[in-house]
Structure 1
Amino acid sequence: MILKRLILFIGIFFTVIACNNLKGPEKPKNLISKDKMVDILIDAKLITSANSKNKITMRDSSLNINTYVYEKHKIDSLQFALSNNYYAFHVEDYEDIYTRLTDSLERLKAKLKEKEAIEWKAQTKREEDSLEQVSKEKERLKSLTNKDSLGTLIKRDSVQIEDVLIEQSLEEMENLIEPIFDSDNNSQ
């Protein structure tokens, strides 16, 4: 019975001592501001979510993925760890940081989708223009067939079509470039 009371007393004693340490971690001397913490976490999230192709590109450009964020924001891993630990203990501050982080990532995602939509429209327009050109060329080639007086189609063979195409090309070139005459040739 005495042994049970002693164990209970020691257990309560250690619980009280442990609860006194719930003040949380001390505020680091070089605590990272909330704004900078949001920027750091955005960069860290973007790097970790990069696909393998982008990671290979970063590695090929001699970018160290593990230290890039620290170098960019001029911090070290200890400073980040202490600041992160401090903010994690102070839940309200951490929630504020993560709310701002989520909002920023959503805005980036919306901008990316907008940019992709613009690129898709441009690509679609180029494809439509190409199809229109092909269609016009088909119509032009169809016009190379003639009808006789009875309305029967007279098809030309490939040599005749090539001759007509060459004639059309020459006519187009003549319309673009005026011939230059040598004055000596005209006087003779």
Structure 2
Amino acid sequence: MKQSIFFIVFVLSLFGCQDVNQPEKPKNLISKDKMVDILTETYLDNAARSIDNKSIIAKGIKMDSMVYKNYGIDSLQFAKSNAFYAADVNIYMEIVGEVEARLNTMQQKMDSIWEKEWLRKDSIKRQLKEVKASSEPVKDSLI
């Protein structure tokens, strides 16, 4: 009995996955390069939301709308293009790989900027300590 139920479930799942339709190529398909730009911007927006979503909402900023306006697209065009590219895993992995490479490059640049800023502040603190140490009068033990 268990074997026949297992066999029926297996056959149904096998035939149930046969008619997966690939989405049609949209008439206004976003190019791969532009899609990389849009997804990079979208990931940065999501990161900003995760850090300070309350102030973004309080200021009435619509991050997605800004991205769409910046690239001259609408949400439907983005959704259809994203679905089209996502249907082919290899192409989508290329796009996501390029996005990841850009984000890593941006992170390295920001890390180097933060490191330079930290070194600058550290050198200022060191100079202030030296000035303070040299400007204090020497205390004599006889007085």
Normalised by the length of structure 1, the TM-score is 0.61
- Pick the aligned partner of 2:70 from 65, 69, 72: 72
- Please name the residue that 1:184 is paired with: none
**Number of aligned residue pairs:** 132
**Amino acid aligned to 1:96:** E
The structural deviation recorded for 1:53 is 6.1
Conserved 8 A contact 1:47-1:65: yes
**Amino acid aligned to 1:124:** D
The structural deviation recorded for 1:51 is 5.5
Conserved 8 A contact 2:36-2:96: yes
SS in 1 for 2:114: helix
- Pick the aligned partner of 2:125 from 114, 124, 127: 127
| C-alpha distance 28-60 of structure 1, shift in aligned 2 (>3 A) | same
**Amino acid aligned to 2:138:** K
The structural deviation recorded for 1:47 is 1.0
Q: Runs in 1 of length 4+ with deviation above 3 angstroms?
A: 51-62
Conserved 8 A contact 2:49-2:56: no
Superposed CA RMSD in Å reads: 2.7
| C-alpha distance 104-62 of structure 1, shift in aligned 2 (>3 A) | same
Structure with greater Cα Rg: 1
The structural deviation recorded for 1:62 is 4.9
Does residue 138 of structure 2 align to residue 142 of structure 1?
yes
User: Larger % of helix: which?
Assistant: 2
Does residue 6 of structure 2 align to residue 24 of structure 1?
no
SS in 2 for 1:111: helix
The structural deviation recorded for 1:66 is 3.6
The structural deviation recorded for 1:128 is 0.4
**Amino acid aligned to 1:125:** S
CA distance in 2, matches of 1:22, 1:60: 43
Residue identity (%): 31
SS in 2 for 1:63: coil
Q: Which one has more relative contact order, counting CA pairs under 8 Å at least 6 apart?
A: 2
**Amino acid aligned to 1:122:** R
Structure 1 unaligned segments of length 5 or more: list them.
1-7, 146-152, 156-188
CA distance in 1, matches of 2:49, 2:61: 15
- Please name the residue that 1:47 is paired with: 45
Normalised by the length of structure 2, the TM-score is 0.78
Does residue 109 of structure 2 align to residue 108 of structure 1?
no
